[in-house]
Structure 1
Amino acid sequence: MTVLVFGASSQIGHFLLPRLRAQGIKVLALSRRPRAASGGVRWLEGALPDRVPALPPVEAIVSFGPLLPFARWLAGARPAHAPRVVATSSMSAESKIGSDVPAERAVARELREGEAALARACAELGSAWTVLRPTLVYGAGLDKSLTPIARRALRTRLFPLPAGRGLRQPVHADDIAQAVLAALQRPAAAGRVLAIGGGERLRAAEMFARVRRSLPAATVPLPLPAWLLRAGARAAPRLRGPLQRLETDLVADNAELERLLGVHPRPFAPTAGCWRPPA
């Protein structure tokens, strides 16, 4: 079996490639920069939507990049033999659809449009497809949510601790990689959009506190009370959405994921290695 991976250098790809190779699966990985073959992975130089080189036949395609460009490429390229398709979206497709911030509503609409476009392209190809909607992703030092906070705290030795009663469900990138691999191998997941969150729900304030405790150096806690966050949201419109959501539950129901894929994501117990980028 040969699998083509878009976004192979992403945080989920970092964990997926070794899992594919461990099962003897051949991997073609697309990268914007030239890379030498290593570990049984053949790297191709290119990018979506219009810089994808000619490809050999593959049995499956995985995408961790933006859905709309991928769906448009798939519809135009029409790869032979109806490959199995697994792609990631985001729970932002649900959590931001009713946001007060127009740009966030646009993000949610684009995610949903991408999911629908992918389903149409796969229907035309006769390809089975599965979309995974992760919550907040961490684990490889490549995310743009918790890792920047952790690294800034290590530089300044100050760790902001915003108040927040909303529930969070951070999901480790390796658990998503396991779900991708399971989706490639389990026909029952075809034609489904599956939410995937971590194995634990916790208050936003506790999530930040655990990140602080995981750091390899001491930091001074800097509590940010709710009244200060409300003032910040008024003063900085670009922060209004994230600050308002601190009081909102951002969680996923893993029931279908566990039933169809047999994947049980881990609780949130970060270590210092979660905030270091891959070597």
Structure 2
Amino acid sequence: MLSDHQGAHLMRVLVTGATSMIGDFLLPRLCQAGHEVIATSRKEHPPQQGIQWLRLDLSQPGALAKMGQVDVWINLTSLSLLRPAAAHMAESMGISRLIAFSSTSKFTKADARSSMDRRFARELKKSEDWLEAFCAEHGIHVNILRPTMIYCRGRDKNVTTILRFIERFGFFPLVGGGKGLRQPVHAEDLAMACMQILEHNQLPSRGYNLSGGEILSYREMVERLFAVLNRPVRIVPVPLFAFRWAIALARLLPGYRFLTPDMACRIMKDMVFSHQAASRDFGYKPRPFQP
């Protein structure tokens, strides 16, 4: 682990996408550390002690034109939204450090059956490549963080969706035996990663894969969710074609419209990534799967 800490160096920190589940855990930690926090949301946000809330849409040209000087920018929203703000990032804002979230979907969806998924993976890579080149050109230190499946009970679209399905129907359909490996990461651990990065001023400009502290099969993950709900495990094996058809039907229900039939194929695929570099460089230590 690198040992050069910024310690008591307090900074003006901009957090975009601050109403996300990671933001829920990050903002209070930034305030507790004594940093000056500017948080943005596309909607009006009630006043909050220690945080300056701004209504801001990054997709709009000139959204950050009047932001003023910022030491660090932590972006919790889409990487693609950084490009319109690039000019202000380098000039009027004077940013020296940037922490931006991407996703390991850059790798897992690169060879997906779905053209939409493959396009998403290409866009992630394109955005990462552009951001790294831009920051290198303008002397901005950048760390791109790629989480695996993010969860936070009641907030995410993965674990929470499974929990709600089990609560509603009392069973869960599974294709291919659910053998694909997963490494879910809690949103709070990602917020802690941001804080740890801020404490190290000698980190290299690079990307880090941030996975959870436990590797388990998709089936084991679902079984643990039954246990959380104190329900008997009722997993129904389903052929791939039937599972894809069921997902297509589920999309008609409120709360399930983000599902795609190709998600069935990913259940059988391993999505495991080492976070050894993050542990070595800034002490990243995620919890085991605790829904």
Range of TM-score over shorter length:
0.7 to 0.9
Q: Which amino acid aligns with 1:180?
A: C
Shift of 1:126: 1.4
Displacement of 1:219 = 6.4
Aligned residue for 1:32?
A: 42
Residues 212, 289 of structure 2: 8 Å contact kept: yes
Distance 1:139 1:236 in 2: 23
Q: Deviations over 1:95-153 (max 9, x none)?
A: 11111211110010011111112112222331100001000000252211121221233
Q: Count matched residues.
A: 267
- Which among 100, 109, 116 is matched to residue 129 of structure 2? 116
Change beyond 3 A, Cα 1:154–1:233: closer
Identify unmatched segments of 5+ residues in structure 2.
1-10, 249-258
C-alpha RMSD over aligned residues: 2.2
CA distance in 1, matches of 2:260, 2:15: 33
Deviation string 1:134-190 (CA, Å, 9 cap, x unpaired) is: 000002522111212212332334444552111100000011111111222323433
- CA distance in 2 between counterparts of 1:246 and 1:156 reads 20
Select 1:63's aligned residue among 75, 79, 88: 75
Alignment partners' CA distance in 2, 1:169 and 1:188: 28
Relative to structure 1, is the Cα distance of residues 219 and 32 closer, same or farther in structure 2, using a 3 angstrom cutoff? farther
Which residue among 263, 270, 273 is the counterpart of 1:242? 263
Distance, in Å, in 2 between the alignment partners of 1:82 and 1:266 is 32
Distance 1:239 1:37, change over 3 A: closer
8 Å contact 2:184–2:212 — kept in the other structure? yes
TM norm structure 1: 0.88
1:49 lines up with 2:59 in the alignment:
yes
Aligned partner of 1:87 in structure 2 is 100
Q: Secondary structure at the match of 1:195?
A: strand
Aligned equivalent of 1:3:
13
Counterpart mapping for 1:98-137 below 5 A = 98-137=111-150
TM, length-normalised to structure 2: 0.84
The structure-2 alpha-carbon separation of the partners of 1:177 and 1:148, relative to structure 1 and needing over 3 Å to count, comes to same
Matched, 1:206 2:220: yes
**Secondary structure at the residue paired with 2:39?**
strand
Aligned counterparts, 1:173-184, within 5 A: 173-184=187-198
| Unmatched runs of 5 consecutive residues or more in structure 1 | 271-279
Give the residue type in structure 2 aligned to 1:258. Answer: S
Corresponding position: 1:261 with 2:258: no
Give the secondary structure class of the aligned counterpart of 1:132.
strand
Three-state SS of the structure 2 residue aligned to 1:187 is coil
The aligned counterpart of 2:164 is 151
Q: State how far apart, in whole Å, the 2-side matches of 1:71 and 1:61 are.
A: 14
| Aligned mates of 1:213, 1:150 — CA distance in 2 | 10
Deviating more after overlay: 128-137 vs 154-163: 154-163
Percent identical among aligned pairs is 36
Report the CA distance between 1:267 and its aligned residue. 0.4
Match among 200, 205, 209 for residue 191 of structure 1: 205
Deviation track 1:202-227 (CA, whole Å, cap 9, x = no partner) reads: 11100111122112x646724224xx
Confirm or deny: 8 A CA contact 1:82 1:126 kept in the other structure.
no
Q: Secondary structure at the match of 1:39?
A: coil
Partner SS state of residue 119, structure 2? helix
Corresponding residue for residue 274 of structure 1: none
Distance 1:151 1:39 in 2: 34
